[in-house]
């Protein structure tokens, strides 16, 4: 097999890999795009450049590509394979056991910027920080703010601290391990803004999700009981008082969350995600 692959041109190898991935990624365009991305990642060259130069894969590159493809077919997320993920302008280290940051979540940081909520030395809390994505992107964009990032997972805390150190932001982003759902949880100081992408996917939605998510990413960072869709949002409101909140939400819980915040006398607006659904809640007094 390896010998035959070494004799393929780049387009042939791309087709071969896409055909293998098509058994899992039912959208052939997605499989083809992922095949091209794998080629670019392993060779360090752009796909058009490889086509124009008639680039030939080395034995080591072919072995690596085959290994990556095998791992994808075993439902290992690409971000875990590569050990990194892009988030806004940042590239963050990723690792198994810690939720992978999604490009859509970066829209939450854009919404905060559009509202001009961070213009000085505000204090921010990022609850359920994971890799530190939201906390670090906001600190990167706003050099005067200070962020307290919180997660219950020791793996997440270690990774968020690593990312903060790598990005030179550890002096303004402190990462704490704590459980938001405990009655004893409190923030170490008052904050001007609370941001969070907490667990919000209902248990019943698991069956609709891809296996590289349900089998590989931490369930505790994704799911809530069907009868408690507002579990983390209630804890955020009760234990983390702030004049402003910017939260990623499940559209299925949007109406319930609207009532929850309005009852606390907040003005609430929703903002859409990539598919136009109510994906973000912004609340302000």
Q: What is the CATH number of the domain that holds 118?
A: 3.40.50.150
Looking at 27-41, 59-73, 135-149, which range is the least confident one?
Answer: 27-41
Would you say 135 and 173 are in contact if contact means Cβ atoms under 8 Å apart?
yes
Rounded CA-CA distance 249/146 in Å is: 24
Spatial neighbors of 219 by CB under 8 A, at least 6 apart, are none
Residue 3, pLDDT > 50, answer: no
Tell me: do 57 and 113 sit in the same domain.
no
Pairing of strands 84-87, 244-248: unpaired
What's 219's DSSP letter? G
Tell me: do 67 and 113 sit in the same domain.
no
How many domains does the chain divide into? 2
Tell me: do 41 and 99 sit in the same domain.
no
Look at residue 144 and tell me if it is in a domain. Answer: yes
Residue-averaged pLDDT of the chain: 94
Tell me: do 130 and 264 sit in the same domain.
yes
Looking at 14-28, 69-83, 154-168, 235-249, which range is the least confident one?
Answer: 14-28
Question: Domain of 45: which CATH number?
Answer: 1.10.8.10
pLDDT digits (tens, 9 = 90+) for 144-163: 999 999 999 999 999 999 99
Residue 211, pLDDT > 50, answer: yes
Q: How far is CA 61 from CA 40, 49, 146, 160, in A?
A: 11, 16, 43, 31
pLDDT at 6: 59
Residue where one domain finishes, among candidates 49, 74, 99: 74
Tell me: do 140 and 28 sit in the same domain.
no
Residue 16, pLDDT > 90, answer: no
Would you say 66 and 26 are in contact if contact means Cβ atoms under 8 Å apart?
no
Tell me: do 18 and 145 sit in the same domain.
no
Q: Quick one: the chain helix, strand, coil %, rounded to 5?
A: 45, 20, 40
Tell me: do 132 and 13 sit in the same domain.
no
Look at residue 201 and tell me if it is in a domain. Answer: yes
Tell me: do 42 and 110 sit in the same domain.
no
Look at residue 79 and tell me if it is in a domain. Answer: no
Q: What string of DSSP letters covers 34-89?
A: HHHHHHHHHHSS-HHHHHHHT----HHHHHHHHHHHHHHHTT--HHHHHTEEEETT
User: What pTM does this model have?
Assistant: 0.93
What's 99's DSSP letter? P
pLDDT at 31: 84
Look at residue 80 and tell me if it is in a domain. Answer: no
Average pLDDT over residues 15-23: 86
Give the pLDDT band (50/70/90) at residue 7: low
Please calculate the CA angle 236-218-38 and round it to the nearest 5 degrees. Answer: 120
Tell me: do 66 and 101 sit in the same domain.
no
Tell me: do 105 and 216 sit in the same domain.
yes
Tell me: do 22 and 156 sit in the same domain.
no
Structural domain containing residue 200: 85-284
Residue where one domain finishes, among candidates 21, 45, 74: 74
Residue where one domain finishes, among candidates 12, 40, 74: 74
pLDDT digits (tens, 9 = 90+) for 260-277: 999 999 999 999 999 999
Give the pLDDT band (50/70/90) at residue 5: low
pLDDT digits (tens, 9 = 90+) for 103-124: 999 999 999 999 999 999 999 9
Tell me: do 150 and 265 sit in the same domain.
yes
């Amino acid at each position: 097999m390896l010998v035959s692959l070494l004799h393929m041109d780049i387009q042939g190898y791309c087709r071969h890999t896409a055909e293998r991935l098509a058994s899992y990624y039912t959208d052939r365009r997605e499989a083809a795009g992922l095949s091209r991305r794998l080629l670019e990642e392993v060779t360090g060259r752009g796909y058009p450049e490889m086509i124009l130069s008639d680039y030939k894969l080395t034995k080591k590159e072919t072995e690596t590509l085959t290994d990556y493809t095998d791992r994808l077919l075993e439902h290992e997320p690409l971000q875990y394979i590569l050990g990194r993920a892009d988030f806004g302008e940042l590239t963050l280290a990723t690792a198994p056991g810690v939720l992978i940051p999604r490009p859509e979540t970066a829209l939450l940081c854009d919404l905060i910027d559009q509202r001009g909520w961070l213009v000085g030395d505000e204090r921010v809390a990022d609850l359920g920080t994971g890799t530190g994505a939201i906390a670090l992107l906001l600190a990167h964009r706003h050099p005067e703010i200070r962020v307290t990032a919180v997660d219950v997972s020791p793996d997440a805390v270690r990774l968020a601290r690593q990312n903060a150190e790598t990005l030179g932001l550890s002096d303004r982003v402190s990462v704490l391990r704590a459980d938001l759902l405990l009655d004893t949880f409190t923030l170490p100081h008052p904050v001007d803004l609370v941001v969070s992408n907490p667990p919000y996917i209902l248990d019943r939605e698991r069956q609709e999700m891809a296996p590289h998510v349900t089998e590989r990413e931490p369930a505790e960072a994704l799911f809530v009981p069907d009868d408690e869709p507002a579990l983390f949002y209630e804890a955020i409101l009760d234990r983390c008082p702030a004049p402003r909140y910017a939260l990623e939400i499940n559209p299925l819980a949007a109406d319930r969350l609207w009532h929850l915040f309005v009852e606390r006398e907040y003005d609430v607006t929703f903002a859409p995600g990539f598919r136009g659904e109510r994906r973000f809640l912004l609340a302000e007094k």
